[in-house]
Amino acid sequence: MKKFKNDNKGFTLVELIVVLVILAILAAILVPALLGYIDEAKQKQIVLEGKSVYTAAQAVASEMYAKDDSPENIANYSAKIIKMADIDTTAVTKISIGFSEKYVSTATTHGMWTVNYIAYEKGTDKIYLTGGSWEATDSQTGTNGVKDLTLSSSTSTSPSP
């Protein structure tokens, strides 16, 4: 009589089910953590884009100051600001810029070219520069001196490769 050989080389059904359960538990733990990181990255992205708009607006304002142009005309420079900020405006819903209404001193009016307010809204995410800090809520009282930038398809830029 031949002896029965017991050298199975595969996994049993129970072993496969145990491995699948372990993988499911790991996925249940990791997926919410990964989603949290994605949301946090999106929040940081909008802050960086807002800061980029601020830097571009201040650069254009300095250029306007050198040309002796009025800060009231900042909206005429929308395309230049958006291009300098290097943002994709397809999802941006609003960009507003405000200048200091107070002069630095009576001898100079250079303070009125200082950008002190930025409203940057992209979809449902919003970030505001008011009082020198970036906030998720708008604490600007009134709209005196605040100009909205034109966001048209002609000013839309895509990040270059």
Where do the domains of the chain lie?
13-148
Q: What is the mean pLDDT of the chain?
A: 79
| Structure confidence at residue 44 as a pLDDT band (50, 70, 90) | confident
What tokens does 90 get? 């397809």
Greater confidence (46 vs 108) lies with 46
Do residues 130 and 139 touch, judged by C-beta distance below 8 A?
Answer: yes
Amino acid at the residue 128 = Y
H-helix segments, 67-141: 78-85
pLDDT of residue 104: 45
Strand order across the 92-99 sheet: 133-135, 125-130, 115-122, 92-99, 146-148
Query: Of 110, 115, 117, 116, which Cα lies nearest the Cα of 65?
Result: 110
